[in-house]
Amino acid sequence: MDDAPPSERAGGQSSSPMGWLKVANHSPPFISFLRRARRVLPGDPEFGDPLSAAGVGGPRAAARAADRILERDAASREVSLGALQLWQALTERVSGRPANAEVTLVFTDLVKFSAWSLSAGDEATLKLLRRVSQVVEPPLLESGGQIVKRMGDGIMAVLADPTTAVRATLAAREALKSVDVEGYTPRMRVGIHTGRPQRIGSDWLGIDVNLATRVMERATRGELVISQAALERIDPADLEALGVTAKKLRKQVFAAKQEGVPPDFTVYQLRVHRQLPVGEDDGEDEGQDEDVEGGQGV
């Protein structure tokens, strides 16, 4: 005869409602079912990604906190994150903003900065970087852009659209001409690309981010280079108003193949054609490899 209380039967597990919930909370099949259910719910099933350490508030902030607090491998965690996932989807539907909205990415850095800094020393280098930040970032921020990160002598920024990005970077490049540290005036190369990168907190990741860096790498001599995806979204009248023309860049025949770059990925150099004051130039190199007719690719 079994003298154990009913609450301790069934393999030592409590048969009370709380005991049943405890067992169900750690049931692998039940947890797996909830995870599959989250895949079909509106919103991002990866909501609460631990890579997201910062960013805007609301459901994103709550999800990041929940990820840290909730027990791992538990049904309660999946139910909680599922509720936040629905909150995210509802918030974005009301605001009209999708999870991966189209944005324009801007990457910059200074031409031959490393060589100059080695000879100039740390004090002059820090002075230059501060001055560059003071003149380059305001046009981007005043245009509604976000400075995502600073990377030594370069920055990554996100703006709403390519027209705004081109206008802001042109202003930043013009302002950079006023910077002089120990006789050195830096030249800034810029890459612009439009896409739908994955936002992780205050950072952005994904294929489009990688493509944007590839676009900047083509601006070897301090040019402003833009991807076809971004250029197609700029009205020709806006290009004219900005005082620039677009020249397609030839594919680099002897360059190493860049993994992850589509074979038909095309980039253009934007050249300033408005009248400049005597003694100034537009910062572009007339010898840059450009071909309006047939050049393609990164």
Dist CA 294 CA 253 (whole Å) = 13
Asked if 251 and 298 count as a contact pair (C-beta separation under 8 A), the reply is yes
pLDDT of residue 176: 95
Which residues contact residue 11 at a Cβ distance below 8 angstroms, ignoring those fewer than 6 apart? none
**pTM for the complete prediction?**
0.65
Residue with tokens 């280079």: 225
Give the count of alpha carbons within 13 A of 198, CB side only. 11
Which has more confidence, 123 or 290? 123
Beta bridge partners of 272: 244
pLDDT of residue 7: 47
Question: Between helices 59-69 and 75-95, what is the axis angle to 10°?
Answer: 170
pLDDT of residue 237: 95
Q: Which two tokens stand for residue 179?
A: 């910077």
pLDDT of residue 52: 45
pLDDT of residue 164: 97
Read off the pLDDT of residues 19-56 as tens digits, 9 standing for 90 and up.
Answer: 777 777 788 888 888 888 887 777 666 655 554 444 45
Q: Is residue 111 helix, strand or coil?
A: coil
Dist CA 7 CA 1 (whole Å) = 16
Element (H, E) at 227: strand 224-227
Which domains does the chain show, CATH number per domain?
22-95 (no CATH), 103-272 (3.30.70.1230)
Does the pLDDT at position 290 exceed 60?
no
Dist CA 169 CA 192 (whole Å) = 9
Strand pairing report for 146-151 and 188-195: unpaired
**Residue 120 CA, distance from chain mean position:** 32
pLDDT of residue 215: 95
| Among candidate residues 216, 111, 199, the one with its CA nearest the CA of residue 158 | 199
- Name the CA dihedral angle for 255, 217, 222, 230, rounded to a multiple of 10 degrees: 120
Dist CA 151 CA 114 (whole Å) = 13
Which residues contact residue 257 at a Cβ distance below 8 angstroms, ignoring those fewer than 6 apart? none
pLDDT-derived band of residue 286, with 50, 70 and 90 as boundaries?
A: very low
Asked if 228 and 221 count as a contact pair (C-beta separation under 8 A), the reply is no
pLDDT-derived band of residue 75, with 50, 70 and 90 as boundaries?
A: confident
Q: Which two tokens stand for residue 251?
A: 């594919």
pLDDT-derived band of residue 179, with 50, 70 and 90 as boundaries?
A: very high
Dist CA 72 CA 154 (whole Å) = 39
**Residue 68 CA, distance from chain mean position:** 24
Asked if 206 and 128 count as a contact pair (C-beta separation under 8 A), the reply is no
pLDDT of residue 54: 43
Looking at 31-145, which runs of residues are DSSP E strands?
103-110
pLDDT of residue 298: 56
